[in-house]
Every structure is written in structure tokens, then in C-alpha cells.
Amino acid sequence: MSAKILDGKWVRDQILTDLKPRVDRLKQAQRAPGLAVVLVGHDPASEIYVRNKIKACGDLGIYSEKITPPDTLSTEDLLGIVEGLNEREEIDGILVQMPLPAQVDKHSVLVSVRPDKDVDGFHPVSVGNLVANHPGPRACTPAGIMEMLRRYEIPVAGKNAVVVGRSDIVGKPMALMLLHANATVTICHSKTPDLPAVCRRADILVAAIGRAAFITEDFIQPGATVIDVGMNRKPDGKLIGDVDPEAMARLSSAYTPVPGGVGPLTIAMLMSNTVQAAEQHLL
């Protein structure tokens, strides 16, 4: 039996379709949800991400604003920009696009965003709510993966889930969300002994390490669901994930392709978090 391809665009379109009436309701009640994106400098990848985020806002009817300070700015300058956005009532969500220039203190900037406007789900208050399983914005990529598993009706409760990678953006929140969905979760990283053997126990394997095709057939239990979060560019310019695509397609029961798998979900969940913040502020 061939593996099921988990189509991120299909899930994204479903999420956005569900959001549309909520945006319309907010507009009728008071105003459109508002998202401010701060893009420091001219990182080409960040510029593409931000352009896609602004476009998604336009398609949904969300008000968006892009602020583009130069990459020479200081931490104090950026904190001033965030503080101004914190005060503005028509802005429901604030997103500071990473990475930031070396001279800027990333941690100070993250904690300066008001928790009720933290649509990235990175603020310590949001992370605390995730740990305690209280409502609040969730990190967009892992939240999107949970939506994908739910909409494709892939069971999570009682399954062995292995997350490879321990970043604050994907690995850690992913592990917590799977845990809250009653999976038995293992987090792996560069110091994990016999990584292939640990991964082979996974019914659900999430690869988020940023190393092209690092996860080979030795890591995949036949019949597992494989979620490939990696986005690595090969010398020929093509994208490849963290999992060997041929092994993933051959051994898994369901998998996310790269591109077109996890990627589209991140912006969809950012829109979802922005609408949710606006509902809290207005309804």
C-alpha cells in the first residue's frame, strides 16, 4: 500500500476557509483584525516570508502593516518600535521576524511584545500557558502540524512520538503539544545515543533539525507517520527536507512532502492566532 501524502496546502485552505467568517464577524462588530510585522534589514528569506504573511492577511481581510527599520538599529530602537505597537488598539498581533541582527538582544525583544499580542507564541507567558495546557497563542509550525494530524484523522493518543530537534520554535512546543494529545513523547538531539534506534520506535516521527536528508531509512519504522519540518536548499536550488524523501515515501504510512507539506501551515496558524487575539480584544 502506498503512503498517504499529507498535503499542507489542503490543510491551509481549510484553516483559512474556517477563519473567513470569523474575520467577517469582527469587521461587523467593530473592525478587522490587525497584524504588524517588523522586518529588520534585508534578509532575503525573511523578506519572502514577510511578503507571504502580508499577502495572507490581504486575502483574509486582515489589516496588516509592515515596519522595516534598517539593520543598524539598536536593541533600544527596536524596543521602542514594539512599545509603540503594544499601545495601538487597532493592532492585535505583533510579529518580529527572526533572525535579528547580531547587535540586537533577541530575548529582550521577544519579552517586550505584550503577551496578548504575541501571535508567534514565543513569549514566556505563552510558553508557560502551553506547558500548563492553558489557552493562549501556540507556536505556529507545531500548531499547524497538530491541525494536519487532526484533519487527516491520524491518531495521536497512545502512540509513540519522537521529535528530532529541540528548538524553542518547533522541537520543544511540538513535544508538548503531542504530550497534551496523549502521545508518549521522546525528544532527541545531537547528544542522543543511537539516534536511529530511538527514531525507529516512533509511530509519529517529527524531524526538525535543519540538516538535509539526515533522517535515512535506518531511522524510520515501517508504517510510521513522518512529519518533515526541514527546509534545506540543495546546491541546484531545489528544496529538500530533513528526511531522505525516497525512504520516507517508501517506508511511511503517511508523510509530509517538502515543499508543500508543513510550510503552508505556519502562515495559516499565524492568521489563526491573529484572529483569536482580535476576538479576545473585541468580542
Catalytic residues: 53, 97, 120
Element (H, E) at 65: strand 63-67
Give the integer Cα–Cα distance in Å for 275 and 272: 5
Give the integer Cα–Cα distance in Å for 124 and 115: 8
Give the integer Cα–Cα distance in Å for 14 and 87: 33
In the DSSP assignment, the letter for residue 146 is H
Q: What are phi and psi of 202, to 5 degrees?
A: -80, 130
Give the integer Cα–Cα distance in Å for 182 and 174: 13
35, 274 in Cβ contact below 8 A?
A: yes
C-alpha to C-alpha distances, 81 to 37, 76, 115, 216, nearest whole angstrom: 11, 9, 16, 45
Give the integer Cα–Cα distance in Å for 23 and 278: 9
